[in-house]
A and B are shown apart, each in its own frame.
Chain A
Amino acid sequence: MATQEALTKGLALPRLIAIVVILAMWQALALSGLLFRDVVPPLEALVVGFVGVLISPDFYANLAITFAELLAALAGGGLAGLVVGLCLGASRFASKAFEPWLGYLGPTPKIILFPLLILMFGVGVESKMAMGAVSCFFPIAISVAAGVRGVDPVLLKVGRSFRARLDQMLIKIYLPAMIAPLLNGARLGFGVALIGVLLAETKLSKQGLGFMVMDAYQRFDMPRMYGLLIVSVGIAAVVNIVLEHLAIQAGHKKPTKH
């Protein structure tokens, strides 16, 4: 732990310098007049835009909608991914037969399905939820399947030898043994679900963060658009950091393998 701390300490300064350099370059670019003033606004305009976003009630209403869509997407896509992943992980046959499909479909951009989802679920929040759910299904199913296969077989023998029921095997053996890959799947799933929901909101939509960004863009209100982008990226980053931290902590409790 001590070495890790030292490492982080040594990293703080170069990171700070990099941020300052990037901001300085931005400001130089903004003041140079090489680009449209509104496309690369100076830092003070960005701060104004950022604060403006934070104090507008409109922003919180839309944030709540995006958040609700994201939660529904993660619940739906996550549950489906969990069930499919468990089945694929448990059956070597199912894995051989169907897992390549997940591998092929997983990385294709889901946005091409959006017209179809609009036809199925309408232009409201439902089609955005579906977009997020379809996006996060794949990485979650793939990590759950890999997690099931990664469970130490001797722990399964322990459970069976004590005559654990199926539900006990799932809750007391599989779940704790898979906590790290599960959290990792959640992190990947969160990332792509957020992309799916925001992207869907930028199309045919009247609410949500994605809509606000497009709206600000169409009004050419660049500081507001940048403010929204900064807030969105910040939220995504914070959630990612929390999930990664949880995954690392769960990983620490794992066996020191021999």
Chain B
Amino acid sequence: MSAPLLSVDGVTRRFGPETCGVLAVDNMSFDVRQGEFVSIIGPSGCGKSTLFSMLGGLLPPTSGRIAVEGDVITGPHPAVGMVFQEESCLPWRSVIDNVAFPLELEGIGKSERHDRAQHFVELVGLHGFEKRHPAELSGGMRQRVCIARTLAAKPRLLLMDEPFAALDEQTRLLLGDKVLQIQQELHQTTLLITHSITEAVQLSDRILVMTYRPGRLKRIVEVHLPRPRNADVVTSPEFGATVAEIWSDLREEASRGMAASEVS
């Protein structure tokens, strides 16, 4: 087995003072290997986005260590690409210029970066929308622009934080299909954060289940569904069994989360 692409070792993040602050992520350790698709699932507010920011080098951990390709990260790492939970298209740029943005930062000339960006625009199925601005697109299309933009930087590790959270169920399933297809085409190592069990099972090789307050790793579920997959896997009995297994784990955490939010 090859060395892990991402290794997370005892990572903790606290907001506010030691005694009364929020312990958002508590002592998490896991690895992601080359070519794997790993999902992190947990109830709302359990610290997923906090972990995501730390993995992307945007937020320093309070303690613990994160390494990408063996380098301990102290800031954004060139091998890592991020897709954010919030809407993150640059609204003043057309689709093609959004996707070409990371290439522009690298100093690649206009015609070459447009050529390269075009490939990723087509990959996410936005052919014909190159000249449109984000405000003219649907939410699902905008999220695909962001995915294409991050892919255009050719990350060796793709991090996505609930990229489909704001979308309706049908769009989510179809986009999940798109992500599967992209992953199988590019052999893209991916860490996907989600709170949708079906999405996690449909896409992943492994699923990390998080607890609520403090955010800890509860357990790791291996998904043995055959690849290549498509949206139809959701109908297989094995899919149902895996979903049920994760749901029983999550139900407890989710209800603790609900109780906590009702109190506050």
Contact = CB atoms under 8 A, between A and B. Distances in A.
A255 B87 contact: yes
A179 B102 contact: no
Contacts of B105: 162-165, 168, 172
A173 B104 CA distance: 13
B147 to A, nearest CB: 13
Contacts, number: 60
Nearest to B107: A168
A254 interface: yes
A255 B135 contact: yes
Nearest to B146: A158
Q: What is the predominant secondary structure among interface residues of chain B facing chain A?
A: loop
B125 interface: no
A163 B78 contact: yes
Contact of B76 (A160, A176, A253): A160
Contacts of A256: 135
Contact of A161 (B82, B91, B92): B82
Nearest to B136: A256
A157 B84 contact: yes
A242 B13 CA distance: 50
8 contacts: A157-B58, A157-B84, A161-B58, A161-B81, A161-B82, A162-B101, A172-B104, A255-B134
Interface of A: 152, 154-155, 157-158, 160-165, 168, 172-173, 176-177, 179, 253-256, 258
Given A158-B101, A164-B105, A254-B135, 18 more contacts: A155-B88, A157-B88, A158-B84, A160-B76, A161-B56, A161-B57, A161-B58, A162-B102, A162-B153, A163-B78, A173-B90, A176-B92, A177-B92, A253-B92, A254-B91, A255-B87, A255-B135, A258-B87
